[in-house]
Amino acid sequence: MNDPNSTIISLKDITVSYDGEQVLSSFCLDIHDGEFLTLLGPSGCGKTTVLRTIGGFIKPDAGDVFFYGGNITALPPHKREVNTIFQKYALFPHLNVYDNIAFGMRLKGKSEREVKETVHQMLSMVNLSGYAHRGIGQLSGGQQQRVAMARALANEPKVLLLDEPLSALDLKLRKDMQVELKKIQQQTGITFVFVTHDQEEALSMSDRVVVMDGGNIQQIGTPTDIYNEPENAFVADFIGESNILDGLMLEDFEVRFAGHKFRCLDKGFGNNTPVDVVIRPEDIDVVAPDSTHITGEVTNVTFKGVHYEIIVDVAGFKWMIQSTDYRAVGDRIGLSLTPDDIHVMGKSEYSGMFGDYSTFSDEMEEDIIATEEAQQEVIGDED
Amino acid sequence: MKTNSRLLSAPYTVWMTIFIVLPMVLVAYFAFTDKQGSFTLENILSVGQYSNVFLRSIWLGAVATAICLVLGYPLAYIIAKLPAKRQSVMVMLVMLPMWMNFLLRTYAWMTLLEDNGLINAALNAVGLPKVHMINTAGAVVLGMVYNYIPYMVLPLYSVLTKIDQSVIEAAEDLGASDSKVFLKVVVPMSMPGVISGVTMVFVPAVSTFIISKMLGGGGNLLIGDLIDMQFLGSAYNPNLGSAISLVLMVMILICMGIMNQFDDGEDNGKGGIML
């Protein structure tokens, strides 16, 4: 069942539009049997539409959905061997926990003995044994989430679709549920298709990540591929923090940006080709200004717990650096890069849209001013 | 804060005392006294002789309520499924007759149902025999259904629009066909609307007197007519009228109690064997 090379669901040239606006056009995607696949992108990128098309809730205007090679495009949701965990859980409020989980099995005509066995098995899997006869209204958000999971898994789906299931939970609970979800996926071997706009969630749980924007796939790959080898400026900006600079690929392994030539590990772009250069903030070493080509003045420092986020103005371009060493605003510092830190990408429609962190400090400043004003108002009120 | 809310509620408390509690006390007082004002059970006991009127009222009210439910549920369901803009138009159309005077609406039915009324004239014109409709129990039920159906549709509509679309999708997702979704999710979730719709139609239908008077003729006396007669009619006897009102109130309370019990039962009692 879990042959990683066999395709369980295949989307071919899917086109979907709402009110004349095209959300997906000629969208293609193969989902492997038994994998944890995440659709990642900002809101409105079409990721939920993809999920709903697989679930059968959206009939595509054109294109086909295949399940183990069979065309299921016309099949209604209740006849598909996939189950969904909805964003707002969508539990049945008129039924208790037990009956919610039993809903699908009873529709399939399973015996009450079998139903009971499975319900208790599911409840213990999601750590809710003893909650069988609670009403839905008596459960916390995290518990409802787990009931929704148990309800979907009780149906023994071949594919589980998860529509931002963790977005309504607080941070701590979300982290726990991420671990839980991954564990359940590995235990059951069910193919998970997970939709999220949270890049950290995507990176920590998935076997493969599909980064989407504007209804198109920007990149498919393992979490490390996506992070270390982004294919364009959008992916680089969306996944983690990035300094994205205009560059010129002089020849293989040699790129020019920020006014200097650098050795790098990238090749195959051709000579004298304009490119985008990505440098991750955590890869930059802070050194003395006289020992490197790139020097600048610190304009902003934010303490983030693990590290400081330092904004440096280098000839008008504001870099972000993550460093465990504190630097004061106004310090002149040097930035040192090794070939390994430099990642070169081809130019795309996103080139120039993302880049430096010049808006970063302005935004901060505005926030600080707004906060101060609000505080003063509060003080004024108390007088 | 506490004194504030007490001050705010004072006018309502006074209003409720004068116009709700006091009249009820008066009705009870009249029901248990004779014309001289001394205590008696005679009024209450003599209500028994009108048991046929009570039975007829409850029967016709129940039939009208059932018809309202059968007609109103699909209508409310269809309206709730329409796009938002068309929904408000449809809801307004349902309510529109309520803006017209109640008497006028019932008069209109008289001219339609009369032996020489519009319907019979139309039947005549196409060569069909006349049908006697006015002054029958059927005409009374028709009048009740026509007048009270908005009270059934509106609570049903408001409950049905509140059902989250994702809950419907979840049921489909778990393998429920359209009819199963309706029976296992939509109907149980709309029970509060059914209860309040049934109550809002049944209570006024049981105690109506105008409809039976105008469409039912003399042969279809209802409790409302009986009470009307004790206060304004030939049989002037406010004490007996109060007694009948009191018995009617108790009976309606019992009916509602049974209905609510039914609702609770759906929620908790049966649980595991619901399907």
Profile chain A (383 residues) by mean pLDDT over runs of 10 residues.
73 91 92 96 92 95 94 94 92 95 94 95 91 93 91 94 89 88 91 94 94 94 94 91 91 92 91 92 91 89 91 90 91 92 90 71 59 60 42
**B172 vs A77, A88, A93: nearest CB:** A77
Token pair listed for A148: 């929704």
Count how many residues are written for chain B.
275
B272 touches chain A (CB under 8 A): yes
Token pair listed for A322: 């993550």
- Residue B122: pLDDT band by 50, 70, 90 thresholds? very high
List B residues 143-172 in contact with A (Cβ-Cβ < 8 A).
164, 166-167, 169-172
Q: Which of A111-120, A198-207, B129-138, B213-222 has the lowest mean pLDDT?
A: B213-222
Residue B123: count other Cβ atoms within 10 Å of its Cβ. Answer: 13
Check the CA dihedral A351-A356-A362-A365 and report its sign: positive
**A128 in Cβ contact with A122 (< 8 Å):** no
Determine whether the interchain pair B175/A93 forms a contact, defined as Cβ–Cβ distance below 8 Å.
no
**B175 vs A91, A102, A108: nearest CB:** A108
Residue B73: count other Cβ atoms within 10 Å of its Cβ. Answer: 21
Q: Sort out which chain B residues have CB atoms less than 8 A from A94's CB and list them.
A: 185, 188-189, 191, 266-267
A168 touches chain B (CB under 8 A): no
A265 touches chain B (CB under 8 A): no
Pairing type for strands A332-336 and A294-303 reads antiparallel
Determine whether the interchain pair A90/B172 forms a contact, defined as Cβ–Cβ distance below 8 Å.
no
Residue A3: the pLDDT is: 53
Residue B186: the pLDDT is: 95
Strands of A254-257's sheet in order across: A260-263, A254-257, A243-251, A273-279, A342-346
User: With 70 as the cut, is the pLDDT of residue B76 above it?
Assistant: yes
- Residue B184: pLDDT band by 50, 70, 90 thresholds? very high
Determine whether the interchain pair B174/A88 forms a contact, defined as Cβ–Cβ distance below 8 Å.
no
Distances in Å between the Cα of A275 and the Cα atoms of A231, A321, B40 are 11, 22, 103
Residue B256: the pLDDT is: 80
Q: Sort out which chain B residues have CB atoms less than 8 A from A92's CB and list them.
A: 167, 170-171, 185, 189
Residue A363: the pLDDT is: 54
User: With 50 as the cut, is the pLDDT of residue B266 above it?
Assistant: no
Determine whether the interchain pair A96/B271 forms a contact, defined as Cβ–Cβ distance below 8 Å.
yes
Buried residues in A59-74 as b, exposed as e (16+ CB within 10 A) = ebeebebbbeeeebbe
Residue A293: the pLDDT is: 84
Determine whether the interchain pair A155/B175 forms a contact, defined as Cβ–Cβ distance below 8 Å.
yes
CA angle B163, B205, B111 (to 5 degrees): 110
Token pair listed for B239: 């004490």
Residue B80: the pLDDT is: 94
Here the ipTM equals 0.78
Token pair listed for A131: 């909650």
Residue A278: the pLDDT is: 93
Establish, for the pair of chains A and B, how many residue pairs have beta carbons separated by less than 8 Å. Answer: 80
Percent of residues, chain B, with pLDDT higher than 90: 61
Q: What ranges make up the beta strands (E) of chain B?
A: none
Helix spans in B216-237 (H): 223-231
Residue B233: the pLDDT is: 79
Q: Which amino acid is at B273?
A: I
Helix (H, G, I), strand (E, B) or coil at A259: coil
Residue with tokens 């049981």: B206
Query: What does the DSSP 8-state code read for residue A239?
Result: S
User: With 80 as the cut, is the pLDDT of residue B98 above it?
Assistant: yes
Token pair listed for B141: 């039920």
Residue B87: the pLDDT is: 94
- Strand (E) or helix (H) holding A296: strand A294-303
**What pLDDT, in 10s, does the model give residues B167-181?**
999 999 999 999 999
